[in-house]
A and B are shown apart, each in its own frame.
Chain A
Amino acid sequence: MKARTRLYAALAILGLAAPWLGLYPVFVMKLLCFAMFACAFNLLLGYTKMLSFGHAAYFGASAYTTGWLVTAQGWGTIAGLLGGVAVSMLLGLAIGAIAVRRQGIYFAMITLALAQLVFFVCLQAPFTGGENGLQGIPRGSVLGIIDLGGDAAMYYFVLAAFAAVFVLIRRIVHSPFGQVLKAIRENEPRAISLGYQVDRYKLLAFVLSASLAGLAGSLKALVLGFVTLSDVSQATSGDVILMTLLGGSGTFLGPALGAIIVISLQEYLSDLVGAWVSVMIGAIFVVCVMTFRRGFIGEIERRLGRRV
């Protein structure tokens, strides 16, 4: 058995056993949702080197859509999730189509500006509840068979979704399409000279990333039962960048580990220091950037001399 297989087997067992290890299931579910969000973001930053500064827009828009569909429209859980993902996909298509024409800082600024637009729509639109957010979103059931009301059932549902997304992202990266993305990352003019329609590849990567980020947001809405403005805010966009860089962009496990570290720190520090938590996370980020630029997993891979 290869070492990598052993590692994934160990993580899978850990994931399956988490509710019996005394871990708080709702918290682990929140971790998984953000880990999924960071993995989706990594598809853009790590493999295509496109730094989107407004990824919370897709995360939050999908969360709001799912919350609204399930609460106000009485849709089922799966239909609500799909509806949310569809909205984030379309949003990704619209914003991506504009943004991929530019590179570097201009790309980042366009994504940021349009994400702020989405934020203000969420703030002012009547169905989002403004500053109060959407409350009391029911978890419902999977096709009327498995009731997700209990934390255990919901946990395995979220875990399965995360595993599926993780495998999907591996598959995308290792596919010929993923190879082209990496070629674009390494040298865009050369990819163009080889005859690839670079913008189309970038747009597809953008839409995939936005859709998966949306799925993460919708799941979070169902897990916690509410959607608020912080899900769609600039701070969340910043958090996901932090998670990806901290864990190691361009690695599979890095963003997930980064999400676990950032969310856990936020959780524990907010008990101790309240609103000062953002200052402390910022300080940690500075230390990480100064000392290990590749992120945790990136550094480990470099030490071991191979990829995880």
Chain B
Amino acid sequence: MLKLAALAVFVLASLLDVSQVRAAGEQVVIGTIEDLSGVYADTGGQGSVEASAMAIADFGGTVLGKKIVLLSVDHQNKPDIGASKFREWADQQSLNVLLAGSNTGVSIAMAKVAAAKKVPFFAVGAGGASLTGADCTPYTVHYVYDTTALGNGTASAIVKEGGKTWFFVTADYAFGTQLQDAAARVVLANGGKVLGAVRAPLGTTDYSSFLLQAQASHAQVLGLANAGTDFINSLKAADEFGITKTMRPAALLTFVTDIHSLTLQTAQGLYLTTSWYWDLNDETRAFAKRFFAKMKKQPTMAHAGYYSATLQYLNAVKAVGSTAPDLVMAQLKKTKINDVFTKNGYIRADGLMVHTMYVMQVKTPAESKYPWDYYKVVKVMSGEEADGSQADPACVLVKK
């Protein structure tokens, strides 16, 4: 029986996490928690981790004489995995900053951990505007785009061209509902009408019943408040059903990799809103070339956002000479952001990074001259135009 006790102790000891807490301060630890295997693996995914690694390499690999370490894990689109991994890193690995994205539900869960553990948190790939509204924290920075800006970009462009009646197919979680709300607000404000909406679970592959409901509504515009493979699957199905002939699809969140998967034949003419495009100028093309060499695809706005956020964090650490979260956050909030991702971006009191957004139209196959030549700029929106000039009053950090 003693043998059994010894066995039990051995099994426990060998299975449990016996890695000791790393002595704080020997290195700067950057964590990335991404969807590496699910619906957003293409728009964010491994490319995001790679973009962060590029930023660390460009920065020189060390800051304040300490080695920079990059951790990454797959959140599998489950809020519980994201939040518990973040907490574990904060407790065990003396994590200094978390960059995370693709999935607003997971990001909201992680924001709560950021507030409890006082770790700066860059919500890079997620869209939900509530991250800097009702769910804001002093340590959250919402970086690449938010649902408000997407609504103001794409929805207003379509309504102004006469798409007055809308039906939404919405991803059934925080991101989808917030995106639908943002777009619906814009539609109503411009004299349009929302005829209905249907919610599809994240990761749906068969959109037929949802699309038939949309068709039965006789709306002019099919608002797709989803992203990643959800967006690809729903648009493809709409195209195959011939619904795109009678209804105009509105792609409320689209990444350049989605267009690549859909092909121009299916996607041509779509309006979309993006904060970054690889073919904007020489600087973005140079970054894209380096990224392409590693990942064999052009970077999305999320990838550029990861690169930029990593770099801005390291710059702030260098400027204040410390990784103390409050000092770094104060530095970040008073510094203008100028890099390959954006020019003259700034972080608002509620944590939103306000920057230029572009309304794009997908080119026709005839207009596209070379591989990945997919977008033409329709309109350039200033950060204030995209996100409003005031910080979100729903955020407790905003002085009323």
Contacts and interface: CB of A to CB of B under 8 A. Distances in A.
Interface of A: 3-4, 6-7, 10-11, 14, 18, 21-24, 26-28, 30-31, 130-133, 135-136, 151, 224-226, 228, 230-231, 253, 257, 260-261, 264, 267, 270-271, 274-276, 300, 304, 308
Given A3-B1, A7-B4, A226 B83 contact: yes
Contact of A230 (B38, B80, B174): B80
User: Max chain A CB contacts within 10 Å: which of B8, B88, B113, B202?
Assistant: B8
Task: Report whether over half of chain B's contact residues are helix, strand or loop; otherwise say mixed.
Answer: helix
Contacts of A4: 1
Contacts of B113: 225
Interface in B1-16: 1-2, 4-5, 7-9, 11-13, 15-16
B81 interface: yes
Given A27-B88, A225-B112, A260-B15, A10 B8 contact: yes
Contacts of B101: none
A23 B88 CA distance: 11
A254 to B, nearest CB: 12
Interface residues of B, number: 46
B76 interface: yes
Contacts of A276: 37
Interface of B: 1-2, 4-5, 7-9, 11-13, 15-21, 36-38, 73-74, 76, 78-81, 83-84, 87-88, 91-92, 104-105, 108-109, 112-113, 115-116, 172-174, 201-202
> Looking at A30, A31, A131, which has the most chain B CB atoms within 10 Å of its CB?
A131
Nearest to B176: A131
A11 to B, nearest CB: 6
Contact of B105 (A23, A30, A132): A132
A299 to B, nearest CB: 12
A275 B17 contact: no
B173 A130 contact: yes
B79 A132 contact: yes
B161 to A, nearest CB: 33
Contacts of B17: 23-24, 27, 267
Given A11-B8, A14-B12, A264-B16, A270 B88 contact: no
Contacts of B78: 228, 230
Contacts of A7: 1, 4-5, 8
CB-CB nearest 9 A-B residue pairs: A3-B1, A131-B173, A274-B74, A136-B112, A132-B105, A264-B15, A275-B37, A10-B5, A274-B37
A14 B7 CA distance: 13
B8 A304 contact: no
A27 B109 contact: no
